[in-house]
Chain A
């Protein structure tokens, strides 16, 4: 079975501070991991995926297979980063993408 855990439901930081949203996964095969973001009352959209090893809007995430983690990081948070963030896991089952519970990030001025 595949499982994604985001231990923090709420995270609040000040503008300019570093931010890290935690994601841990459980999967026996070769995982594919994603971060999705949902701004207030908008549709979910892909933020980044581990295979791309890219930085989007200043966010990065590194897959750590030893710790089974895929934490999302940004060195200097901005107010416009306030949103709900979901970590998602896809595996060899193909069509099934499993989402974590989500972390609501608030960046205060």
Chain B
């Protein structure tokens, strides 16, 4: 049981290049998320998908797009990378019952270290 798997683990991009971060979960979770982690700013939600077929913006969506390809997969795309997007990106998933997190846990991937030069 791999949990949440994200690729690539490390990537260096030049300004203006595009790339897609891939994420897959094998826990049959409904909800999936993309966060970025920056020193002193904690974890900030970029986009999330409450269920298959839906996506919503989080706190810092500018410069990113997402696709919920199916229940398992949720990808994050940088169309034109900028140095400000240098960060560690975490994909996560959770089961969701009703409208609350009660009893639910968010499971995280191992992170993707992205550097934009």
Contacts and interface: CB of A to CB of B under 8 A. Distances in A.
A51 B102 contact: yes
A98 B110 contact: no
B100 A46 contact: no
Interface in A18-75: 32, 34, 36, 42-46, 49, 51
Contacts of A99: 35, 42-44
B43 A51 contact: no
Given A32-B101, A43-B108, A46-B106, A95 B31 contact: yes
Contacts of B108: 43-45
A55 B95 CA distance: 23
A44 B33 CA distance: 13
A101 interface: yes
Interface of B: 4, 31, 33, 35, 40-45, 48, 50, 56, 58, 90, 92, 94, 96, 98-103, 105-106, 108-111
8 contacts: A43-B111, A44-B108, A90-B100, A91-B100, A94-B96, A94-B101, A99-B44, A102-B43
